Amino acid sequence: MEFVKNEDLVTFRQNWKGNPKDGKRFEEYNGRIETGLRKVFRYMRQANPQAEEKRKESFQLQTVKDDIHQAGDWICWLGHASFLIQLDGIRILTDPVFSRLGTMKRLVDAPYTPEEIGQLDYVLLSHDHRDHADEKTMKAFSRKSYAERVDPRKAGSNFRVLTTMGMTGLIRPWLSPKHTITEAGWYQRYDTPADHPQVSFMPTQHWCRRYLHDMNRRLWGSFVIQGKTKTIWFGGDSAYSPHFKEVGEYFPKIDLALIGIGAYKPAWFMQEAHTSPQQAWKGFEESGAKRLLPMHYGTYDLSQEPVGEPAHFISACAKTAGRSADLLMPKVGEVVRSF
């Protein structure tokens, strides 16, 4: 067993040696996740008890065009796990995936093109799964390059990529040489300038694989983004686990948590890696965050539950808890300032 971290970054967990790695494989946070082909084949053979309900449902996320170049602190959901975040004048994009996933089309279009989004300072990539790290989208942002295609005075092409251990080899070919990549392990803080938000990398209970024979060769996790007055936790992909409570212990003043609520059925297959709406709400409360903005639903049909079911269930959770005002459900493309 070896322990891996970026020795050039600050590690804020006391006595943390780094992420444990058994041979080529990073170890999961809360117990090993079974992802073998036998399990996949069982899932593919299983009939969906909600198939007829899915066929009849008419749910679709609403989209709008908003002012994504306004001043101030704000966040804009772009669908799935993609967010455009502006804190202290710094523009951050998370897990950008704007295209179809193989043969799986988007159920709602990305609300803005890379050219419309324009200048970026950072792109955060939480892990290597194709619905979070998309080659086509990353290449589009790299070569959209105002410096190369529109206006050489624009600096939008010079964003930094903040990501996880092992990702450089995968994403380097997607980027031009001007883009720098910084990898971090869990409980590490990226080296951003003093006048930029601080970005820290925290665990999730998930796994990585891009191809058949690269299981957990890259790390996964979540990002805490701390501005001067606002803190956002981008929860990445995760099952329910003690990490929800832990992130709140390390960062007790989270203003907004971005947590996935979709792709959770059947539970025996999906909930080792994703939270159901009920689990997401429980994790949100354990994190101590003030408000929740759900993600990872309604953009792609990844599992057996009806596409609109996560939104219905998370709203019910908030109502039952008497915290409906703390649940933000914006349209795709809508700028949210109240968090």
| Integer CA distances (angstroms), 167 to 9, 40, 67, 191, in order | 16, 25, 33, 17
Lowest-confidence pick of 37-51, 135-149, 318-332: 135-149
Question: Is it the case that residue 313 has pLDDT exceeding 90?
Answer: yes
- Give the tens place of pLDDT for each residue, 94-134: 999 999 998 899 999 999 999 999 999 999 999 999 999 99
Per-residue confidence (pLDDT) for residue 146, from 0 to 100: 43
Residue 60 near residue 106 (C-beta atoms within 8 A): no
* Nearest by Cα to 113 from 90, 136, 141, 94: 141
- Edge-to-edge strands of the sheet including 2-4? 2-4, 19-22, 25-26
CA pair distance 185, 310, nearest whole angstrom = 31
Between CA 297 and CA 122 the distance in angstroms is 24
Res. 151: pLDDT tops 70: no
List, in sequence order, every residue forming a beta bridge with 181; answer none if it has no partner: 161
With left for phi above 0 and alpha for psi between -120 and 50, is residue 110 left, alpha or beta? beta
How is 48-93 classified by DSSP, letter by letter?
Answer: -TTHHHHHH------B----TT-SSSEEEE-STT-EEEEETTEEEE
Task: Round to whole Å and give the CA distance between 34 and 337.
Answer: 40
Whether the predicted model's global pTM rises above the 0.75 cut: yes
Pair of tokens at residue 283: 């994790």
- Measured between alpha carbons, how far is residue 96 from residues 78, 82, 188 in Å? 8, 5, 22
pLDDT(150) > 90: no
Determine contact, residues 279/314, Cβ cutoff 8 Å. no
Closest residue by Cα to residue 64 from 76, 74, 46: 76
- Two structure tokens written together for 234: 């981008």
DSSP assignment string, 244-262: HHHHHHH-TT-SEEEEE--
For residue 189, what pLDDT band results from cuts at 50, 70 and 90? very high
Q: What is the mean pLDDT of the chain?
A: 94
Least-confidence region, from 123-127, 144-148, 261-265: 144-148
